[in-house]
Structure 1
Amino acid sequence: MLLLGPLGFAAPWLLGALIALPVLWVILRAMPPAPRRVIFPGVALLAGLVDRAPIASRTPWWLLLIRLAAVAAAILAFAGPVWRPVVQPAADGPLLIVMDAGFAAAPDWAARQTRVETALTDAAAAGRPAALLMADGRGQGALAFQPADALLSGLRAAQPQPWSTRLPDDPGATLADAPEGSLSTLWIADGTDHPNRAAWLAALADRGTVTVVPPARPLRTLALAAGDTPSLTLTSVDDAAPAIQAIGPDPQGIERALASLTPGDATDADGLTVRPVAIDLPPELRNRITRFQIEAETHAGAVVLADDRVRRRKVALVGDPLAEGQQLLAQTHYLRQALAPTTDLVEGALGDVLDTAPDVIVLADQVQLAETLDLTQWVAEGGLLIRFAGPRMAGYDRLAEEPLLPVALRQGGRDIGGALSWGDPRGLAPFPDDGPFAGLPVPDDVSVRAQLMAQPAPDLAGRTIASLSDNTPLITRDRLGQGQVVLVHVTANAEWSNLPLSGLFPQMMERLVATARLSPSEAATEDLTQPFWTPEAVLDGFGRPAEAQGLTPVPAADLAQGTGPDRPAGIYAAGERRRALN
């Protein structure tokens, strides 16, 4: 680099061509040689003509000047002029390249690889040793410095990962084998803050110069917002509000964008722009969605996989209305309060709600239904029927003949804490680890005063998914075709227990509704215990679906920490539950 004041030239040797300009001036100004005289007889006809300009014409000086200026400008252009160039001191020590490899680096990954490849090629030409640190969180010991060109093959094969950038915990141990001399560091950053970044930057600055290359485009991420109503949150470093595509299979089974969601008004959060995105879609469409993705973004942070928290089931509620003034005592009131925040409720007679094609039907103390055959067919085709006990069911004299029950029942029920009973109300036993209520805490103040008793049977324990402290069934379940029949052996109001008054009741109903429409293959995973989650489908760093190969079940405690090297973004299963790790 040649500097002439504030102007620099990348190829200064080309400026030597300017010496040829005076020679070119002389050549252009030179007179042509005198013509050779040849006598031609016809010239006699021109006798007597007078030449008014006997002196040969020359090129005007201003035209010569313009031509020379054009040639000089071309020479200067080829010399690579740079205004106020930043001249890097010549480095002869080892080279370290730190390359952020989280999902935020995916959008311009090819440009990042090109920048690093150029640096390694220059280091190889200068004979400098180099090392490449891929900050993807995968375990590695001390970095090995080697000839720079030996790192090119690993660089070309590297890919961004579907989790955030992660650096080794101890910079000193990672750089223990660095050669002597000033260490030059080229850090290809993804623009995000991550653990150990400040410690690494300080450690590298103590060893030599550090050049940080920021990302070329703003980062935008999508996340599932917390709350009872499923919604999304768009976060970006700029004010852009791109559309959010809801992607899933169409009626022909072809995956495509089924809808486009518009972000809401922006709010500022620590310098970032945050926009809410409402998932305002019909249940039939929402339940087909497999993922949400920011339009024109190609990284895993721009994708939100849909799981049981996003899908809103259509739940039909069937029960007898009470007289005016007693609605707050009805079982349907407690069920409505528990299901309304997370489902789309339909209420009415059984024949009417069957026509709406619900995912779940809840019957509150109903027997002798005229639509039993239609209801049986609906369950066999994949529906979930949830029944609650009550005085009517307990007093039904043909209870043993009542269809659509998961277990055989005793007539009359059991009065545990009544005036004529010898016992005290019973509490709830801890939920099994392989059931739909696994992990829910059992409050000490929940008690049951009356219940419908199940007839003893060899398979009664296998059909029980919740029980009382004396091991009597509280909730039983059985399969019918592709669907399920669930019976809660108490009422849905406070007549037989205070369970509907507790915060546990809405959580249990949400868990039951989430098991609707399970396929036989999904039901086969019931033997998996709750403490572990098995990956079913994962994403790569670019947000594309990938196969979950070579991954082991993840402990629930680790899954709660978010994505990482052993738990990439994807869909994880535990028993009947499906959870998206985004």
Structure 2
Amino acid sequence: MGGAFSFALPWLLAAGLALPFLWFLLRRLPPAVRRVRLPSIVLLDNAEIPPPPAATPPWWLVLLRIGIVALLIAGLAGPIWKQTPATAPPARLAIVIDNGWSAASQWDRLVTAASERIETLPDTTRFTVLPTAFDGPVPAAHWVDAPTAKAQLAALSPLPWPAERARRAAALPEDAAFLWVSDGVEDADAPALRRALAGAELLALPPTEPAIRAAGRTNEGWSGQIVAPPGLASASLRFRSRRGETLFSEPLVFDGDVATFRIRLDASERADVSRLTAGSSAQAIWLADGSAARPRVVVVEGPSNAPPLESGGYYVRRALEPHADVRAGTIADAADDPATLFVLTDVAAEPEQAKPLLDRVEKGAVVILFAGPRIAENGSALSPVPLRAGARALGGVLSWQQPQAIGGFEETGPLAGLAIPEEARISRQLLAASDNDAMRWAWLADGTPMVSAARRGAGLLILVHTAADPSWSTLPLSGLFEAMLRRLLPLGANPASIDIAGAKPWVLERMLGARGQWQEPERPVTIPASRIDAATASAATPPGLYRSGDARRIVNLAGALGPRFSFAPLATDGLRPAVEAAPPLDIGAWLIFAAVLLALVDILVALRLRGVLVPFGAALLVMLAPGAAHAADLQLAYVRTGSAATDAGVARGLESLGQTLTRRTSVSPGKPAAVDPARDPLGAYPVLYWPAATVRSMSPAAALRLRAYIAAGGLVLFDFGRPLGAGSGARDLLEPLGLPALSEVGSEHVLSRSFYLLSTHAGGAVWAEAGSEGEDSHVSGVVIGGGDWASLWSGDRVVSQAQREQALRFGVNLVMYALTGTYKADQVHTRALLDRMGGPQR
């Protein structure tokens, strides 16, 4: 298969015309010699001295440098190698690309695949990009060149509603080849597009994220179903709050392609859930609003002689229980309940009795008070309006008036738009003495109020002027009773929003994008109030947050999927796989890389010609070679005793010794290491501290490893915690090591001179291997004593400052002895040398 070169910036190749001039510059003679007057040069006037040859670089070096420049010019010009396809390329290619919700999870790959297909075709091919999802009329075909088509693909975005493949099929151009870049999901419109694209190429990339097809709040939390695309075995479901925090996370395992979830959340978490997410695309997100929450409502009944199934509280509970978490209570304990909505039936509360609940109202609670005979007789401090004594009778033997129908509802109130049934009649009613400051949300046919409300601080007081039981009206027996209470429920969450009837048109406030992000609508979207309940995600009604007055409603994408949705693989009847042509190869970067490599070769050659390559290489090796200053951190070690308190004390002592070494010497130990000599490697530690007062025995395995450690140059300090003698157990502990004879360390021993000159050692006598005084190169592998040095080093043991300083100096000498061996043994001759020289002795 052949191909052809092309350049992204062909005009840069014109710089190659300067290469011959560059050859001349590199091969030209060196600059003229400076003339300096030198009197002695007159002696050479008659001498014939030939001029030196011109110091020009060799031709191969000039050619190398010109090649570097040529490679840079060619690389910057953007050379591209395009392979010629096996079949004749089309003159016009229409790219039909799915950009509905199901393409969102694979959108970047879909666009990349389409762009790569464009790049495989010659520059003479013309393209048009035809999306299958759109907002408005079907986009017509516009033929453009390859760069413009790629720019159109980059500007295209997935949309959060189903693709309209049938409409796309009816508006395809003629006399063109087709490439369908599909999301791989079969739907009802797919056959129509397949028939229209018969014989076209197909490139399908199925979704990688699941879809939430149903979800909703329950009495205890949330439940729903999630559908997985082919190949997805598990996912994670997250519940997010209004602040974006994750309230709960649940792993999902699919049974076939469906996972059912039932999640328990407490009441506060249920109310705080703003979205469920099983991925980052719109189909994997379920938006939740406050209207979907089940608020907590406390029902308080006044004293009544009515049977339980005929009381006002019964009718209120029956109306609210399908929509709220209803609790029965008393006015005494209602103020302490976490609920924000309280329904009281015929509760004639005195001011002192009502004060705790009124305080809750001031802070944002809502009280709905139903009238009754006790309020008619005694009034109530919880009424939003002052009341006249007694009840107004409408109908009956002693009344000339007939029961009144409900006259209407305030257009800006929460009850606006409710249907008024003919059978709802009011036969008794409380009248307000004055209602100048009250809101009137409903009234009877004669204009007298039926529902009044007034703000109290941040909350609301609401009065229904008739009873909650059938004794005063037929309202509790009608569907309007439940509808009214249901409309008032959202007030508990936001008492300031009373225009919640939803009778006005619903306006899209924020749209949920196909990739799960909130975005501003590109155009105004309005849904009539009569159609909001049936609205599903589409181009006409995008998913997102809608508002009508103070009311809010969510339209989720799941409504467009349906309760039986599943990811059906796209059928490929009549289509052929897309041509797998290799994408164009951009070799510009490789040419620039080759120029850089040749430039490095040129530098090495130049250094070699100047004679500095060998010193340069030696210096480089010195810089790269690890030096003593970069050696691994030194650590002191101690044998683990099994007692946490003892181990902590030993560690503190060794840390204090390490700090002293850091301040006074060039040795800077790290944190001490606790080891088990029977199992842990010991070779990294120059000194091993053995608290023999606690660890009084040695296993054969430990003895074997210690012998190897000592033979390799390690040093073990056995500290018995008290002066050696009968009862110390030293012989029993050290016998498995098979040590040679020991001798007491004196002031002439190299251990006493390795850093400080010590005449005594804190803690009593110290013993080491005989013959290690420094006369030869033998270094003792063990030092034995009973000074309890760890407690002296750490300061845990109370001694004088002089004693602690003596112990620290012994520790410093011990570490330096372990590190330097008999290096300081030459000092034993210092006194004789000073005597011979007549100098002072120290």
So what's the TM-score if we normalise by structure 2?
0.51
1:232-268 deviations in Å (ceiling 9; x for gaps): 432314585644321115xxxx5211123577996xx
Query: Contact 1:417–1:449 (CA<8 Å) still a contact in 2?
Result: yes
Partner of residue 246, structure 1: 239
Q: 1:217 aligns with which of 208, 215, 219?
A: 208
Residue pair 1:92, 1:126 contacting (<8 A) in 2 also: no
Report which of the two has the higher share of helix. 2
Shift of 1:274: 4.8
1:576 is aligned to 2:576: no
Does residue 492 (structure 1) correspond to residue 468 (structure 2)? The answer is yes
Number of matched residues?
470
| Aligned counterparts of 1:153 and 1:421: Cα–Cα separation in 2 | 82
Asked if 1:183 is matched to 2:177, the reply is yes
Go from structure 1 to structure 2 and tell me whether the alpha carbon gap of 1:260 and 1:491 turns closer, same or farther (over 3 Å shift).
farther
Moved more, 479-488 or 151-160: 151-160
On the 8 A contact 2:235/2:253 being kept in 1, the answer is no
1:553 CA displacement: 4.3
Alignment of 1:318-357 (within 5 A): 318-320=300-302, 322=304, 326-357=307-338
Cross-structure match for 1:21: none
Alignment of 1:378-457 (within 5 A): 378-396=360-378, 399=379, 402-455=380-433, 457=435
Residue 233 of structure 1: aligned partner: 224
Select which of 197, 200, 214 maps to 2:193. 200
Q: Within the alignment, does 1:256 sit opposite 2:239 as a pair?
A: no
Question: SS in structure 1 opposite 2:514?
Answer: coil
**1:99 and 1:187 in contact (8 A); partners too:** yes
The correspondence of residues 92-241 of structure 1 with structure 2, limited to 5 A, is: 92-123=90-121, 125=122, 127-140=124-137, 141-167=139-165, 169=167, 171-172=169-170, 174-175=171-172, 178=173, 181-189=175-183, 191=185, 193=187, 196-205=189-198, 208-211=199-202, 213-217=204-208, 219-225=210-216, 231-237=222-228, 240=233
Aligned equivalents of 1:351 and 1:197: distance in 2?
Answer: 65
Contact 1:409 1:453 survives alignment (8 Å)? yes
Superposed, 1:550-565 pairs within 5 Å as 551-557=524-530, 559=532, 560-565=534-539
Q: Deviations over 1:424-457 (max 9, x none)?
A: 2222335444332334332222222212123465
Question: 1:334-392 CA distances to partner (integer Å, 9 max, x unpaired)?
Answer: 11112222222222222312212211011111123444222222111111111110111
Which is greater in Rg?
A: 2
CA-to-partner distance for each residue in 1:147-200, whole Å, 9 max, x for gaps? 23212122113222222223473644x33xx3x534323232251525x44333
CA–CA separation in structure 2 for the residues paired with 1:448 and 1:277: 47
Partners of 1:372 and 1:569 lie apart in 2 by 45
Amino acid at match of 1:198: P
| 1:203–1:228 CA distance, 2 compared to 1 (3 A) | farther
**Identical aligned pairs, as a percentage?**
28
Closer, same or farther: CA 89–199 of 1 in aligned 2, 3 Å = same
Instruction: Report what 2:487 is aligned to.
Output: 511
Contact (CA 8 Å) 2:502, 2:529: kept in 1 or not?
A: no
Change (3 A) 1:550 1:451: same
What is the DSSP-based 3-state SS (H/G/I as helix, E as strand, rest coil) of the residue aligned with 2:442?
strand
Contact preservation (8 Å) 1:409, 1:455? yes
Consecutive unaligned residues in structure 1, runs of 5 or more: 3-9, 11-86, 267-271
**Aligned residues of 2:215 and 2:225 also touching (Cα < 8 A):** no
Change (3 A) 1:184 1:552: closer
Identify the residue that residue 449 of structure 2 maps to in structure 1.
473
Unaligned runs of 5+ in 2: 4-84, 557-842
Q: Summarize the Cα distance change of 1:554–1:506 in structure 2 as closer, same or farther, 3 Å threshold.
A: same
User: Per-residue CA shift, 1:262-293, capped at 9, x if unaligned?
Assistant: 77996xxxxx8555444532221211121122
Report the counterpart of residue 20 of structure 1 in structure 2.
none
Q: Amino acid of the residue matched to residue 275 of structure 2?
A: R
Question: Separation in 1 of the partners of 2:144 and 2:522?
Answer: 32
Q: Deviations over 1:474-526 (max 9, x none)?
A: 21222222111111111111111122122332222121111223164x55xx3
Alignment of 1:352-363 (within 5 A): 352-363=333-344
2:625 counterpart residue number: none
Structure-2 separation of matches of 1:261 and 1:438: 41
What SS is found at the alignment partner of 1:429?
A: strand
Look up the equivalent residue of 2:224 and give its one-letter code: T
- What is the Cα-based RMSD across aligned positions, in Å? 3.2
**1:10-56 CA-partner distances (Å, limit 9, x unpaired):** 9xxxxxxxxxxxxxxxxxxxxxxxxxxxxxxxxxxxxxxxxxxxxxx
